[in-house]
Structure 1
Amino acid sequence: MRFGVFGTGHWAAETHAAALDAHPRADLVGVWGRNPDRAAALATRYGVPAFDDVDALIEACDAVAVALPPDVQADIAVRAATAGRHLLLDKPLALTVADADRVVDAAAQSGVASVVFFTGRYHPEVAGFIAASAAAGGWHTANVIRFASIFQPDSPYGQSPWRRQHGSLWDIGPHVLAVLLPVLGRVTRVVATDGPGDLVHLLLTHDGGATSMVSLTLDAPPEAVAGEFVFYGDNGIETLPAADGGPATAFGVAIDQLLAEIDAGTRDHRCDVRFGREVVTVLAAAETARTQATAVDLPA
C-alpha cells in the first residue's frame, strides 16, 4: 500500500513517517509540507521524493497519513477521499463540526477506509481495558486529570501555533474522549469552565445518566505534571493502565487496522472518521459552554 505523508513536524517525522517506513506492508512514496525546506529534509531522511503540490502526492499514493493542524488536515482529507485515497488521520479530525462533516461525507461518498489516530486506542493494554470495561458496564462516573507541560524549551510541540491557540481542550481532549465514549456512552450534555492559564474543566453527562469530570492543561508547572483516569461503578474502581510502547509502535497498529479494513472491504472501524466527528462535536460543545458560561445539550 503506497502512503504519502502530509506534514513535516516532529509528529510527522517520528511517528507517521517512522512507522510507515518500518511497516512491512506500507510503501512510503513521498512527503508534502507547507515548508518546502522541511519537506525536503524529511523526504531525504526517508529516501523518498518531496512533493510541492498536495494533489500530486495524493495522485501518487493509495492512502494518506496526515500530521498537520486539524483545519489543514480536514481540507487535505476531503481532497484525498474524493480522489479515492484511504485515510489515516490524526486527532482531532477538524476544528469545527462543519469541517468534520465534510470529511465524513467525502469518505462515505467515495467508500474509502478511514482510521483516526487516538494514540492510546492503539496500545493493546489500553484497547483491552476499554473493551473489557465497556462490556462490563455499570459505570457511574469517571474522573480524569491530564496535566501536561509542553511549553518548555525542550518540548518538540511547544512552538505549535494551533496548540497555543486551541489549547488542551482540542489537543488532549480527543485522547480523553476516545476512552470515555466507548465506556460511558455518547455525551449528551457539556458544562465547561476555565481555570488559570490553559486549564479547562469539563463535566460531561453520558447516555444512561453516567457522568465524567475532566481537567486538562498543556501548560502545567513542570512540578505539577500529572495523569489520572479512574472509573467508578457497580464493579468497584478501575484505573486506565499506562500504555506500553511509544507512539510509533501504536501508529504501526493503526496502519495494520487500516489495511485490515481495506483487505476486508469493511468500513466500520471503531475509530473511523464518523467517530472522529463525534469527538469534534463534543469538543465544539465544550468550547461553546466555556465561552458562553452555559450548559450545552448535544443533539441525539
Structure 2
Amino acid sequence: MRFGLLGTGPWAQNTHGPALAAHKDVQLTGVWGRRSDAAAQLAGDLGTRAYDDVDALLTDCDAVAVALPPDVQAPLAVRAAEAGCHLLLDKPVATTPGAARQVTAAAESAGVASVVFFTLRFSEPTAAWIAEQAAAGPWLTGRADWLSPVFGGADSPYTASPWRREKGALWDVGPHALSVLLPVLGDVEDLDAVRAARGHGDTVHVILRHTGGASSTCALSHSVPPAAAGVTAEVRGAAGTATLPQREESPVDALMRAVDALTESARTGEAHACDVRFAQRVTEILTATEAALP
C-alpha cells in the first residue's frame, strides 16, 4: 500500500516515519508538512521525497498516515478521504463533534477504510488484555488513570506542543483512557450525566456511567512530577479484579500493527473497532467532559 505521511513533528519523526519506512507491505511515497524545510529533512531521513503540495501527495497514494494536531488533522482527513485515500489517523481525531462527524461522513461517502491510532489498542500485551476483559464481563466498575509529567518537569519533546498546552491532558491522554474503558464496559450511557472536576495544573477527574450498568472514573494529567507518573487501568466484578498490564512494545511496533489493521480493513471492507466512528464517539465524550468542568 502506498502511504503518504502528513506531519513532521516529534510523533512523525519518532513513530509514524520509522514504522512506515520499516513496514514490509508499505511503500512510503512521500512526506508533506506545514514547514517545507522540515518535510525535506524528514523525507531525506526516511529515504523518500518531500511534497510541497498536499493534494499532489494524496493523488500519488493509496493511504495517508497523519501525525498532526487534531484540528489540523480533521480537515486534511476529509480531503484525503475525498481523494480516495484510506485513513490512518491519530487520536483525538478532532476536538469538536462537528469536525469529527465531517471526517466520519467523508470516509463513509468515499468508502475508504479508517483506523485511528489509540496506542494501547495496538500494543501488546495491553491489546490482548482489553479483548479478554471485553469478553469476560460483566464488570461493575472500572478506572483508567493516565498521569504524565509532560508539563510536570519531564524532558519531553511534547512539552512545547501548542495544542497540548491549549487542550491539556483531557484531550491528549483522555482518548487513551476511553479506548480501554469503552470496549470493556460499554459506551457512555448519557453524555449529559458525565461529571468532571479539575485538579492540579491540567489534571481532570471524570465519572462515567456505561450502557451495561457499570460506572468508571478517569484521572488524567500532564502535570504530575516524573516520580508520580504512571498508567493504570482496572475493572472489578464478580470475577474479581483485572489490572491492565504494562505496555511492553514501542509505539513504532504498535503503529505497524495499526498499518496491518488498516490494510486488512481496506481489503475486506470490514470496519475496524478503532475506526473514525469510534474516534468520533471519543470526541463527543471528551466534549461532554469539558462542558461538565466547573
Moved over 2 A (4+): 151-154
Aligned pairs for 1:1-300 within 5 A: 1-151=1-151, 152=153, 154-188=155-189, 189-264=193-268, 266-290=269-293, 293=294
* Residues 222-256 of structure 1: per-residue CA shift (max 9 Å, x gap): 22213321111110001011111100000000001
Task: Provide the rounded CA distance (Å) in 2 between the counterparts of 1:142 and 1:256.
Answer: 30
CA distance in 2, matches of 1:113, 1:178: 19
C-alpha offsets along residues 110-154 of structure 1, whole Å, 9 cap, x if unaligned? 100000000010023212111111111121111222210113462
Q: CA deviation at 1:10?
A: 1.1
Count of residue correspondences: 290
Comparing 26-35 with 139-148, greater Cα deviation is found at: 139-148
Cα RMSD, aligned residues only: 1.1
| Whole-angstrom CA distance in 2 between matches of 1:61 and 1:160 | 28
Q: CA deviation at 1:168?
A: 0.4
String of CA shifts for 1:146-191, please: whole Å, max 9, x gaps.
2101134621111100000000000000011011000000012310
For 1:24, the aligned partner's letter is K
SS in 2 for 1:259: helix
Structure 1 spans left out of the alignment, 5+ residues: 294-300
Q: Distance in 2 between matches of 1:249 and 1:234?
A: 34
User: Comparing 113-122 with 134-143, which one deviates more in the overlay?
Assistant: 134-143
Alpha-carbon distance in 2 for matches of 1:48, 1:129: 37
Query: Which amino acid in the other structure matches residue 283 of structure 1?
Result: L
Is the contact made by 1:86 and 1:114 (CA closer than 8 Å) also made in structure 2? Answer: yes
Kept in 1: contact 2:81–2:112 (CA 8 A): yes
User: Is residue 104–residue 276 contact of structure 2 (8 Å, CA) maintained in 1?
Assistant: yes
Would you say the 8 A contact 1:203–1:213 is kept in 2? yes
Per-residue Cα deviation, 1:254-280 (whole angstroms, up to 9, x for no partner) = 00111111222x231100000010111
**8 Å contact 2:120–2:247 — kept in the other structure?**
yes
TM-score, normalized by length of structure 2? Answer: 0.96
Verify the 8 A CA contact 1:114 1:267 in the aligned structure 2. Answer: no
What amino acid maps onto 1:284 in structure 2? T
The residue type equivalent to 2:187 in the other structure is: R
Counterparts of 2:219 and 2:154, CA distance in 1: 24
Q: Secondary structure at the match of 1:143?
A: strand
Which amino acid in 1 is paired with 2:224? Answer: A
